[in-house]
Structure 1
């Protein structure tokens, strides 16, 4: 969401407005725990007219359009260092909170649970630590959650996927472990990015529950094992599927051939094998198909020359006879002599 509400610096200051008074207390408490502000962005956070503060956006209250409140905060890309004080919970009218690309550290305060109107929370590219910030599970209006590029660790709670309001979930590039929750598809998110964590386990069949919403699913480098479930092919709105750099085995589910909106499919750097079927290669919107560094042994029909269709295609380091830059016979035999039976793999579950 782009913050467009203009500052209203003098007409409705915090004088006589209890909500702006509360916002003033919260913002002043925050300023006291900002240790470095290299661009001096917060130097005008002085006085009670909080709507004139840089990065602070005001507008009419949702329950009373005659009352001005602080509705948004945007401190993106400012290299500010500090932490988030409990007093931020006083800004109960916040709808948007963006502080990405700074040096904020510590944990997200539990007082943020007071922000019942918050629908965008972006704390990405900072130095936050600790377990998954459970406070975000108590935000009833949240639609956009961005926690990427921090130092959060431990399990991602299954409750996150019980939230039917969330549209975008970014938890990539943290230190999350355990497994991907088995109730993964209970939310209605259109974008989910798990990349660059250490989840392990396999992609649960419940992914099928995302069928009516999922458009982008990125699971790059998440230590996934087992086979891709056939249920991936039920995500009929999917445009981007990236499961590269994992330990996936087995064939490409033929159900993927039904994803008519699919534009990007990246299976690279796994241990997948079998045939690459024509049904996938003729998908009408396919623009980029990468299957390099696997053990595929045959490309059906047009799959052998996808570049002729204008598709960006990479099939290096497989077991494709007659193709250049393939694995050695010894490498291929070591894997292909032990065919994978996907029904033997069982997901470890987390509820």
Structure 2
């Protein structure tokens, strides 16, 4: 047996004993009513690539033996009652440390959201270089955001929201060129949001709920016009109204392009005599054609 998928049922009890299923690659017990701890014997499933047990009632800590699953690429323990620290052992999942695997192109991710995890994030999270999404939201995690996250070069989704994380947002996150979804909201982050190109692609919701955090895209201390609050103009400020008007970039671009075309045409008429003769001959023909028409209309 290579796959054991029993998700979305009403099954209960403890984690099934699968120690003899050494060929199993996929386990999905999602959205059932299993309880108890995740057994240490999980390490015997040496071929396991996907472990999904979200939406159950599993308790206890993440067993350190899980680091022996060298082929594990997807770990989803979300929406349970798992507590304890995020052990450094989880950072030695070999398949997640590889940025490229010619034998397997599955998405690599860790979802431990909606549990009771606490403690600080491991400082060497960058070891998981092949990780593509990381969701640790809705826990009791504290400490700071590891600057080593920038080493996870293909990280596309990062969600650390609704925890107790403090400190600054590392400038190194700007190096995550694949990052398309970021949520750092509802923490205790402080200082200025990095004002690089990447951070400007995320809206206020990515950073909201951090009272001591400031800078664009938040309104607080933001100098970018598209994020700044509207300026109220009173009667005493009539002299400066024009300065506060939005610059009509579209009209400027249109006028500039038309001007360039006209200038180019004028230059050709000046330089090329044959073109100039043809142009004015065409103008004469057009005028001769339209004049009788307008004359008759007037009559």
Q: Say whether the fold is shared (TM-score over 0.5).
A: yes
Highest Rg: 1 or 2? 2
Q: Using the alignment, how far apart are the partners of 2:185 and 2:199 within structure 1?
A: 18
2:193 is aligned to: 252
1:191 is aligned to: 133
Say whether 1:162 aligns with 2:92. yes
Q: Structure 2: 5+ residue runs without aligned partners?
A: 97-107, 233-299
* Aligned with residue 237 of structure 1, among 162, 173, 178: 178
Q: Using the alignment, how far apart are the partners of 2:214 and 2:5 within structure 1?
A: 49
Mark the CA change 1:273 to 1:248 in structure 2 (over 3 Å): closer, same or farther: closer
Mark the CA change 1:117 to 1:263 in structure 2 (over 3 Å): closer, same or farther: farther
Mark the CA change 1:254 to 1:263 in structure 2 (over 3 Å): closer, same or farther: closer
1:268 is aligned to: 208
Equivalent residues, number = 219
* Aligned with residue 172 of structure 1, among 98, 110, 113: 113
2:72 is aligned to: 142
Alignment of 1:285-300 (within 5 A): 291=218, 296-300=220-224
What TM-score does the superposition give when structure 1 sets the normalisation length? 0.59
CA deviation profile, 1:266-313 (whole Å, cap 9, x unmatched): 10110244432xxxxxxxxxxxx7x4xxx7133413334xxxxxxxxx
Does the CA contact (< 8 Å) of 1:238 and 1:259 recur in 2? no
Mark the CA change 1:84 to 1:298 in structure 2 (over 3 Å): closer, same or farther: closer
RMSD: 2.0
Q: Using the alignment, how far apart are the partners of 2:39 and 2:48 within structure 1?
A: 15
1:129 is aligned to: 59
Does the CA contact (< 8 Å) of 1:225 and 1:247 recur in 2? yes
* Aligned with residue 4 of structure 2, among 60, 67, 73: 73
1:6 is aligned to: none
Q: Which contiguous aligned blocks of 4+ residues in structure 1 show a shift greater than 3 angstroms? A: 262-265, 272-275, 320-323
Q: Using the alignment, how far apart are the partners of 2:158 and 2:188 within structure 1?
A: 17
CA deviation profile, 1:195-230 (whole Å, cap 9, x unmatched): 0111111101111111x2110000011111111110
Does the CA contact (< 8 Å) of 2:71 and 2:94 recur in 1? no
Q: Using the alignment, how far apart are the partners of 1:253 and 1:259 within structure 2?
A: 7
Q: Using the alignment, how far apart are the partners of 2:25 and 2:181 within structure 1?
A: 29
Q: Using the alignment, how far apart are the partners of 1:136 and 1:273 within structure 2?
A: 36
Does the CA contact (< 8 Å) of 1:250 and 1:271 recur in 2? no
